[in-house]
Structure 1
Amino acid sequence: MTIQHPATEFEVIVIGGSYAGLSAATQLARARRRILVVDAGQRRNRYAQHSHGYLGQDGREAAAIAADGRAQLMKYPTVRWIEGSATQAVKHGDVFRVTLADGSIFQTQRLVLATGMVDELPSIPGLAERWGSSVFHCPYCHGYELEQGHIGVIATSAHSIHHAMMLPDWGKVTFFLNGAFEPDTEQLEKLAQRGVTVERTPVRSVSGQATVALQDGRALEMAGLFVISRLHSASPIAEQLGCEMEEGPMGSYVRTDMIKASSVPGVYVAGDAARMAGSVALAVADGAMAGVAAHQSLIFGAVAAKAA
């Protein structure tokens, strides 16, 4: 049976209860607005035990940071939290209607989407099993802990050279091209200047901590591996609403302006869903901006992001 709720019950619905969503919801709760947080419990960094680079929280368990944020948020009396998935959102005039997987329907004046992204990894045996433990995407989040050891970069496209050029600041780098692309002469010179070893033999599998087995039988032991994943949105909501998207080197994401407003008035997008760089610190900052903007729009009116 479909459960209906009045439009006036919530002023803002935040879809996604990870770092960006928690941050947005906190700003709104402190403004004493009636808000609903809908969370499917699928943090993008759930595979990583620890989080790094977030001021005051460096080295803490990633799950603990999120749990503390939720506990602090729920002390505010105007907040309701639902564990579930939002499957659909439509706009009717100035009101948004959000449908959950269980059939419940909620209406709101504003939406904050903090739905995150899903990582698609190359189909290399053993790679996905080590995602977040010894296979990473962000040097700033995980590079320091590799203690300047041997670091492998597995190419997925020409954009992977960005990783290969950066990572010598964290260790001795081997760049596994894996048939993804061939650097030109200028790129090879720059890699050599950075001390990067280029390996053209295809990767067969990954085992142990981060041992790369090559097709010719060699096995190169690494302290950790970095790979640029292909990204896609963890939720269809933004596209359902007609939010304009941007295509980045790793996939498409929602286009927003400086206050995290999307092209649809009243819809704000924060965190990985609206940027290519993923980290807890950036997600929290985006969420705070989106929450503040959503609150002020209730007073001064909603605007849409202007085309660049």
Structure 2
Amino acid sequence: MNTASTAHHETFETHRRALLGAAYRVLGTVADSEDAVQETWLRWQDVDPTTVREPRSYLVRAVTRVALNIVRSRDRRREEYIGPWLPEPISTDASAEPGRAAEIADEVSLALLVVLESLSPLERAAFVLREVFALPYPEVAETLERSEASVRQLVSRARADVRARTPRHPVDEDTHRALIAAFLEAAQGTVALTEMVAVLAPDVLLTTDGGGVKRAARRPIHGTANVLAFIAGIMAKPEVMLLSWRMAELNGRPALIGHEGPRIDCAVWIEADGEGADAVVTRIDMIRNPAKLGAIRV
């Protein structure tokens, strides 16, 4: 490897973690994010590093542009996707593969990814560039090929939506773990599913992603009674009754994994609001689409 190639490689590797984080926030899937980083690397090789004053900023902007192109292409496929679409979870506990996307998943919660997915692609990209990477508005505008005034509006709308969809009183790690433990007991049959009413908000929202491959609700389910009825139906299915359940860390927070030996059937994570004994689960997300379970380790 010659000196120029070495400089290219070293500069890129220095910022690879940030690039993967930017792409994952925009795309929500591991494979697409890694593809975006690889495409950025190929383009970076045609750039003279000595002409780039701030490589990190340059590369983050470049990978975001690539990610946006992937989003636009994918959104055309998304129209044919069966049921709700949820982001791809990543193992971040001791079972995680060192050096993979797990290196950035600790910093990118599944709850945030779900919120970002509700934004338009441009809002998502503007939010990530400005709020996560603190790029100046002129650079964000140039990246998105929009006016600075337009970008400020995109960021403002995105910021407002994220704030509105984020719990007013997010629970601490211990409370989150206790709530997940309650779900684990219900899944294992230690406690009756009906006892979960005490930890669910009246307007709790359940979203399931089966991708048309596994049984899942075609639309989000609202309300305690409806959510518990759906979960009871899923748990009564023979293939689900065979599953073993364990608590695991996904994207830096405790979650549930349902598996039969090494085969993972589903991943379940929650969002909760409140303090201490008053904390309740406001959102439950469940992925059963096998294509989105590859970054989880049993």
TM-score, normalised on structure 1? 0.27
Give the structure with the higher percent helix. 2
Structure with greater proportional strand content: 1
- TM-score using structure 2 length: 0.28
